[in-house]
């Protein structure tokens, strides 16, 4: 019997957190439902996927540049069902701690792996189901919710399988908590299971995976964390007429769009050097305009007081 590697051991080179699934012939997929925008992206991800956190800078930039041409649908992949794995490299939660620290350095995105020593997660299913509950209520707020719980787990070392944190994140992004709890305990689990099945049927073997589809039904699969230029090339291949949407790159405008940013995210979305970006963010913090959350592997800035 083949040894099953724990999916939390992500391949840094490929940028993929891989799960064991039956491989499918992706060329034989049915054409997805009719789309209203030139390109549709099915984005298969997971709240605790470190490579998915690593791709956030270029993903955010892509949405700013080509968002008008993109119809994005988020699907939960089901990265970690439980700890029933037999792997020589990662077989228990504490083994993940050092790996997450390595991933943090590689992607230049703050991740504190100590959560796996202090309050380890038993599964990624509860936060995934919570995302589906948020999505049932409001798709835009669901994306904010996903970001919020990722910040909780990667930077704040909070065990997002616990209801108290899921509820706090839902409140922060403005969801109706009673409705959220009802859906979380009911229909959302079924929707999550549907997402996982769609991923298996589509040949998704890890996260992040993006399936780009144009109006003609032509598809491109993007496996793992890729550069912004790579993602842009896929957009232009499937939709050569795509044009970048102009957007303001001053700090005020970027923080109005994304309330929280790491230095890598700020540098990529504003096309500025990393060193210049970090200096500006620190200066704005000193001026009382931004608030800085420092972790052992980097920092994140949030809006404090914008005038």
Domain positions in the chain are 35-206, 251-303
User: Would you state the CATH architecture of domain 35-206?
Assistant: 3-Layer(aba) Sandwich (3.40)
Cis status, amide bond into 217, omega within 30 of 0: no
The pLDDT value recorded for residue 14 is 76
For the chain, first and last CA: distance in Å?
62
DSSP 24-73: --GGGPPPPSP-SSSEEEEEEE-TT-HHHHHTHHHHHHHHHHHGGGEEEE
**SS3 of residue 214 by DSSP:** strand
The pLDDT value recorded for residue 305 is 59
Contact 6, 89 (CB under 8 A): yes
Which of 123, 142, 134 shows the shortest CA–CA distance to 183?
134
The fold of the 251-303 domain, in CATH, is Arc Repressor Mutant, subunit A (1.10.10)
The rounded average pLDDT for each run of 10 residues, N- to C-terminus, in the chain (307 residues) is 59 77 42 73 98 98 97 96 68 88 96 97 97 98 98 98 98 98 98 97 95 97 96 98 96 97 98 98 97 97 74
The pLDDT value recorded for residue 7 is 72
């Amino acid at each position: 019997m083949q040894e099953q590697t724990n999916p939390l051991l992500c391949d840094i080179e490929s940028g993929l957190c891989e799960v064991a699934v039956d491989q499918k012939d992706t060329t034989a997929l049915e054409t997805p439902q009719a789309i209203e925008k030139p390109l549709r992206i099915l984005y298969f991800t997971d709240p605790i996927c470190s490579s998915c956190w690593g791709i956030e800078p270029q993903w955010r930039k892509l949405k700013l540049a080509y968002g008008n041409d993109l119809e994005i649908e988020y699907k939960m992949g089901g990265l970690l069902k439980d700890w029933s794995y037999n792997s020589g490299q990662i077989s228990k939660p504490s083994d993940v701690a050092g790996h997450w620290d390595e991933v943090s350095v590689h992607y230049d995105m703050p991740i504190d792996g100590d959560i796996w020593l202090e309050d380890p997660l038993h599964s990624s299913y509860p936060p995934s189901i919570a995302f589906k509950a948020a999505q049932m209520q409001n798709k835009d707020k669901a994306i904010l919710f996903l970001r919020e719980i990722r910040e909780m787990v990667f930077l704040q070392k909070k065990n997002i399988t616990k209801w108290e944190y899921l509820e706090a994140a839902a409140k922060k992004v403005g969801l109706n908590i009673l409705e959220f709890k009802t859906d979380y305990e009911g229909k959302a689990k079924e929707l999550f299971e549907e997402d996982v099945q769609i991923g298996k049927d589509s040949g998704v073997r890890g996260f992040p995976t993006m399936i780009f589809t144009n109006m003609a039904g032509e598809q491109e699969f993007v496996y793992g964390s890729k550069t912004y230029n790579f993602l842009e090339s896929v957009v232009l291949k499937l939709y050569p007429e795509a044009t970048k949407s102009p957007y303001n790159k001053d700090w005020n405008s970027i923080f109005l769009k994304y309330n929280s940013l790491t230095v890598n995210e700020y540098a990529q979305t504003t096309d500025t050097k990393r060193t210049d970006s970090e200096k500006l963010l620190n200066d704005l913090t000193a001026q009382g305009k931004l608030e800085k959350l420092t972790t052992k592997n980097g920092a994140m800035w949030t809006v404090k007081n914008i005038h």
